[in-house]
């Protein structure tokens, strides 16, 4: 049986983006274990008492704790980045295959097989959205992964195409496997709904944004678009959920200035509360200027609510109807599409029906099955 180590270091609360990918894939691989590909071990990070063996991982998963320089997570990351075979040698050498799940080095002994997941190439395409360190490390790791990995998983066709255009890699080494979605038990959502909805106003209509707050997420332009809605929609609030990243405080201040009490910033919320917010929203809006996939869009589909989003990058692959999309650089066009969804035009219900059927074919167990096949192919190369 092949032994596999999956890099789960991004998994720390709040769970979103790459952390969601790592956690959900690892848990789904438990169900897909076979005599040839067993349950992968997961590398987790010890950070001065925080994030040790995260409880969200299934109990069947063996969590390999990485603890050098245990008080300083950034120093741990640098140690693994520049000398993984020194600091992680005793942990890495036993595995037949290591799976890098994001732009970070997990190391590799001679003869060991590597699989890398590339979610996007945003730092290479738009370095202006990132600080100096992120730009440097992302570019370094992108070219290293292209060089070292036997197989690369791209989460969208758009990402695959950009990888090929940037690196000239042989297309046969890339597999496109999107992200899945697993909705929690309804009882958990219901129990979370009462307190979180009280912060918005029970029975209040609202549009929902989920994601980190940073320039490429384009939330400032969403706020402008919301402020321009006509009087018939002036009672509808904009609820923003996510972690404060680069320049985020300015975005929150802008929302409060332009929208007043129509703007509700909740920060990062627990998983059950996120799903409760999705279940009661009038629509999800993702105005990002670039996404590697767009997990909140799929989560909205799972809840049977309409999703509208910018017409760019990988998000176009998630649309059922062109009318769901808008020019992310045009607040006016964004306002128009938001108003049409709030007016519940006929095409809105049609997209919900179409995408509800689609999400049933795109679960994390389906992602795990395709990933196991990538492992098999990589080990056979």
The gap between the terminal CA atoms of the chain, to the nearest Å, is 17
Please give the pLDDT value at position 49: 53
Please give the pLDDT value at position 60: 93
| 285 plus 313 within the same structural domain | yes
Partners of 41 in the β-ladder: 5
| 171 plus 50 within the same structural domain | yes
Look at the chain and report how many structural domains it folds into.
2
Please give the pLDDT value at position 47: 60
| 224 plus 207 within the same structural domain | yes
Please give the pLDDT value at position 22: 93
84-98, pLDDT tens digit by residue? 777 666 667 789 999
| 348 plus 368 within the same structural domain | no
| 197 plus 327 within the same structural domain | yes
| 293 plus 269 within the same structural domain | yes
| 93 plus 229 within the same structural domain | no
| 371 plus 339 within the same structural domain | no
291-309, pLDDT tens digit by residue? 999 999 999 999 999 999 9
* Maximum CA extent, the chain: 66
Sign, Cα dihedral of 223, 227, 230, 231: positive
CA–CA separation, 212 and 178 (whole Å): 20
CA–CA separation, 134 and 141 (whole Å): 10
Partners of 47 in the β-ladder: 50
CA–CA separation, 145 and 143 (whole Å): 5
Domain extent for 190: 186-359
Q: Cβ–Cβ contacts within 10 Å for residue 120, how many?
A: 25
Give the per-residue SS3 of the chain.
CECEEEECCCCCCCCCCHHHHHHHHHHHHHHCCCCCECCCEEEEECECCECCCCCCCCCCCCEEEECCCCCCHHHHHHHHHHCHHHHCHHHHCCCCEEEECCCCCCCCCCCCEEEEEECCCHHHHCHHHCCHHHHHHHHHHHHHHHHHCCEEEECCHHHHHHHHHHHCCCHHHEEECCCCCCCCCHHHHHHHHHHHHHCCCCCCCEEEEECCECHHHCHHHHHHHHHCCCHHHCCCEEEEECCECCCHHHHHHHHHHHHHHHEEEEECCCHHHHHHHHHHCCEEEECCCCCCCCHHHHHHHHCCCCEEEECCHHHHHHCCCHHHEECCCCHHHHHHHHHHHHCCCHHHHHHHHHHHHHHCCCCHHHHHHHHHHHHHHHHHC
Please give the pLDDT value at position 331: 97
Please give the pLDDT value at position 130: 83
Please give the pLDDT value at position 259: 97
The mean pLDDT values, 10 residues at a time, for the chain of 381 residues are: 90 79 94 87 73 75 78 75 70 88 86 94 90 87 95 97 95 95 85 88 93 93 97 96 88 96 94 93 96 93 95 96 97 97 93 88 92 95 80
Q: Cβ–Cβ contacts within 10 Å for residue 131, how many?
A: 10
| 122 plus 204 within the same structural domain | no
| 265 plus 277 within the same structural domain | yes
Please give the pLDDT value at position 221: 97
* Residue 283, domain CATH: 3.40.50.2000
| 251 plus 173 within the same structural domain | no
Please give the pLDDT value at position 141: 93
| 341 plus 235 within the same structural domain | yes
Please give the pLDDT value at position 34: 82
Please give the pLDDT value at position 88: 63
């Amino acid at each position: 049986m092949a032994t596999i180590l999956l890099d789960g270091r991004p998994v720390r609360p709040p769970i979103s983006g790459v952390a969601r990918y790592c956690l959900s894939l690892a848990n789904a691989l438990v169900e897909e274990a076979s005599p040839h590909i067993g349950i992968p071990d997961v590398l987790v990070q010890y950070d001065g008492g925080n994030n040790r063996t995260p409880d969200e991982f299934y109990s069947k998963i063996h969590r390999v704790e990485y603890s050098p320089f245990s008080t300083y997570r950034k120093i741990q990351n640098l140690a693994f980045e520049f000398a993984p075979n020194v600091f992680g040698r005793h942990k890495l050498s036993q595995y037949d295959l290591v799976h890098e799940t994001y732009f970070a080095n997990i190391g590799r002994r001679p003869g060991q097989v590597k699989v890398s997941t590339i979610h996007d190439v945003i730092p290479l395409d738009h370095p202006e959205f990132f600080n100096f360190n992120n730009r440097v490390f992302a570019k370094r790791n992108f070219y290293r992964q292209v060089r070292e990995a036997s197989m690369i998983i791209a989460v969208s066709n758009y990402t695959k195409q950009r990888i090929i255009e940037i690196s000239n890699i042989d297309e046969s080494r890339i597999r496109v496997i999107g992200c899945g979605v697993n909705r929690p038990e309804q009882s958990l959502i219901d129990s979370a709904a009462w307190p979180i909805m009280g912060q918005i106003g029970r029975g209040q209509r609202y549009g929902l944004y989920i994601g980190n707050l940073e320039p490429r997420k384009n939330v400032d332009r969403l706020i402008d678009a919301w402020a321009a809605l006509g009087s018939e929609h002036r009672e509808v609030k904009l609820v923003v959920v996510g972690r404060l990243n680069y320049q985020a405080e300015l975005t929150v201040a802008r929302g409060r200035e332009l929208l007043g009490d129509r703007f509700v910033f909740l920060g990062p919320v627990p998983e059950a509360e996120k799903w409760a917010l999705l279940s009661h929203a009038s629509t999800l809006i993702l105005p990002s200027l670039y996404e590697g996939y767009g997990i909140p869009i799929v989560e909205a589909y799972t809840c049977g609510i309409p999703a509208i989003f910018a017409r760019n990058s990988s998000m176009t692959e998630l649309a059922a109807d062109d009318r769901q999309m808008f020019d992310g650089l045009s607040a006016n066009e964004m306002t128009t599409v938001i108003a049409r969804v709030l007016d519940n035009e006929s095409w809105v219900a049609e997209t919900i029906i179409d995408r509800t059927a689609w999400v049933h074919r795109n679960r994390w167990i389906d992602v795990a099955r395709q990933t196991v096949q990538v492992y098999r192919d990589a080990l056979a190369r």
